[in-house]
Homo-oligomer: A and B are copies of this chain.
Amino acid sequence: MAKADTPSSEDLMRLDNFLCFAIYSANHAFTRVYKPLLDQLDLTYPQYLVMVVLWEKDDQTVGSLGEKLFLESSTLTPMLKRLEAMGYVSRVRDRTDERQVRVRLTDTGRALRQKASAVPAGIVDATGMEPADLARLRKEIAALRTALLG
């Protein structure tokens, strides 16, 4: 029978016992599953996440996007420029506060949402999990993230 002992320092040093590695490798696995689906939209996985945030609420600042995605402006700025070059978003300085840049969907960017509508279901499918289990796991991992950043 498994007992709830405090793990030995030996056990803690085994890669299989690293929660961080489970997450690290699951993240790569997700990237691979998304690739063929997103290739059709000409989006990378991080770019897709930006689009999801914008589809949810258009016209956001770089800072607002970064807060939601937990990304720095040094990551977002080049990404947003690529999305702009592809014609999916526009970037314009806010007139009332010139420090901020407002990111808005173009018509093409808005239209892309329809083409992307089948993606989430495809991913859920690839996990082979029930929606309820998926939701529970998602909440647990989000809570873990909160604890780590706290």
A interface with B by C-beta (< 8 Å): 4, 6-7, 9, 12-15, 17-30, 32-34, 49, 52-53, 55-56, 68-71, 113, 117, 120-121, 123-124, 126-129, 131-132, 134-135, 137-138, 140-142, 144-145, 147-150
Which residue of chain B has the shortest Cβ distance to A28 in the bound complex?
Answer: B70
Dominant secondary structure of chain A at its interface with chain B: helix
Give how many copies assemble into the complex: 2
CB–CB A117/B26 < 8 A: no
Asked, given contacts A25-B145, A148-B126, whether A52 binds B15 with beta carbons under 8 Å apart, the answer is: yes
Q: Is the CB of B22 within 8 A of A148?
A: no
User: A9: which B residues are within 8 A, CB to CB?
Assistant: 117, 120-121
